Amino acid sequence: MAYVTNLSKKNIDYILLNYNILNFVNYTPIYDGIQNSNYIINTQSKKYILTIFEDTYVANNINFFLNLLLFCNKNNFICPMPILDQYNNIINYINKKPSCIFSFIEGESCKKTSLQNIKNVGIHLAKLHTITNKFNEKIKVRFDINFFNNFIIKKKVFFTKLDINLNNIFNDTLISYNNLNEKNLPKTIIHGDLFPDNVFFNDDNEITGFLDFYFSDYNYMISDLAIVIISWCFYINQDDAYVLNFNKVNILLKSYNSIRKIKNEEIAALNIICKLYCMRFMFTRITAKDYNYDNKKILTKDPHEYIDKLLYFNDTKNLRMNINYA
C-alpha cells in the first residue's frame, strides 16, 4: 500500500456521496508500500479503506483482483471486501484512476514473527489455496521469464559492481526455474506477496485477515510458501548475516501440510523458487527506488536484503535436508 494521490476532505466528501456511508468523521493516508494510494476512512460507527489503483498492471486487471476478493469472502476467507456504491458499482474513478472502498480489517501486522504466527499463516495459506483452486478466472503471470531477463540486461553493470557472480546466479536460477515446467507442480491463484505487513493478527495472535492481493496470479502453490520463508523465517546473526530459522520453516510447512498435502516434488523445487522470489523482490525494490512518483510520499525498501538472501540460498545446497515437516 502507498500514498501517491493527494485527496482533500472535500474530495473524500464527494467520493462518499456515491456510497451509503454516513457520518463521516475524518480520513488518514496510509504511507506503507509502493503500489496504490490508500486512505483510512473513519465514520462514527465504522472504518473503511479507500484504495486508488496507481499501478497500470493492477488497474488494467482490476476486475480480476476484485472478483478474487469477492470469491474469497464468499468462501469465508477473511480479506478486504469490496463495497458496492448506491448504483451497485464496485469501481469508481478518481483522476481517471480506478478506485474502490473496502471493508476495514481489524488487527495489526506482527513486528516480530513468532512460531505461533508462522503456524497460523501456514494453516490460513493452505485454506486460501483450497479456495482459489476453485476460482475459475485466470491471469497472466506478471513476473515471467521475460521480465527477469529484461531487468538483468538493463541492470547488468549495476549487478556486476555489487557482486561479480550475481549475473551468473541470475541466469542459472532462471534456467533451473524454467525446467520446473516439466515437473507438473500443482498450481492455483496464489497471493503472491504474503509479507508480514500483509497479514493482520489480533492480540491473541489469531489471523484477522490477509491483505493486498494485487500480486496474485496463476502460479505454483509452493511459491507462496517460498515467499513466506524468505520474508518471515530469516534472522540476522552475530556476524550481521541473514540465516534461515529452520524451526519456523518446518512449522510453516507442517501447518500448511495439515490442510493441503505438499508433494515431494514441491519440496525439491523449493530452493529454486526461493531464489527466484529473492530476485523478484530485489528487482521490484530497485524499480521502486528508481521510480519517482513525482516525489510523492512512498515507502521504498532496501533491495540489498534480497541480494543477501539470494546468495544465502545459492550457497545452501542442502536446504531440503534441513526440512522436516512430517
pLDDT in tens, the chain (326 residues): 455 788 988 889 889 988 989 889 999 998 876 678 999 999 999 999 999 999 999 999 999 999 999 999 999 999 999 999 999 999 999 989 999 999 999 999 998 999 999 999 999 999 999 999 999 999 989 999 999 999 999 988 888 888 878 999 999 999 999 999 888 999 999 999 999 999 999 999 999 999 999 999 999 999 999 999 999 999 999 999 999 999 999 999 999 999 999 999 999 999 999 999 999 999 988 877 655 444 455 556 788 899 999 999 998 665 666 888 87
CATH 3.90.1200.10 fits 115-322, yes or no: yes
List the chain domain ranges. 9-103, 115-322
Q: State how far the Cα of 119 lies from the Cα of 206, in Å rounded to an integer.
A: 10
Residue 322, pLDDT score: 82
CATH code matching the domain that covers 9-103, chosen among 3.40.50.720, 3.30.200.20, 3.40.720.10, 3.30.70.20: 3.30.200.20
Q: How many helical (H) and strand (E) elements, i.e. helices and strands, does the chain have?
A: 11, 11
Return the C-alpha cell found at 25: 468523521
14-to-7, 8, 47 alpha-carbon distances in Å? 11, 10, 17
Specify the pairing of strand 187-189 against strand 218-220.
antiparallel
Question: Same topology for domains 9-103 and 115-322, yes or no?
Answer: no
List residues bridging with 102 in a β-sheet: 49, 82
Q: State how far the Cα of 115 lies from the Cα of 95, in Å rounded to an integer.
A: 44
Residue 281, pLDDT score: 95
214-to-89, 165, 189, 260, 305 alpha-carbon distances in Å? 20, 32, 11, 23, 22
pTM, two decimals, is: 0.93
Q: Which residue has the cell 483510512?
A: 40
Sequence-ordered list of residues with C-beta below 8 angstroms from that of 264, at least 6 positions apart, any chain: none
Q: How deeply is 51 buried, as exposed, middle or buried, from its count of CB atoms within 10 A (0-12, 13-18, 19+)?
A: buried
DSSP codes of every residue in 193-250? ---GGGEEE-TTS-EEEE---TT--EEEHHHHHHHHHHHHSEEE-TTS-EEE-HHHHH
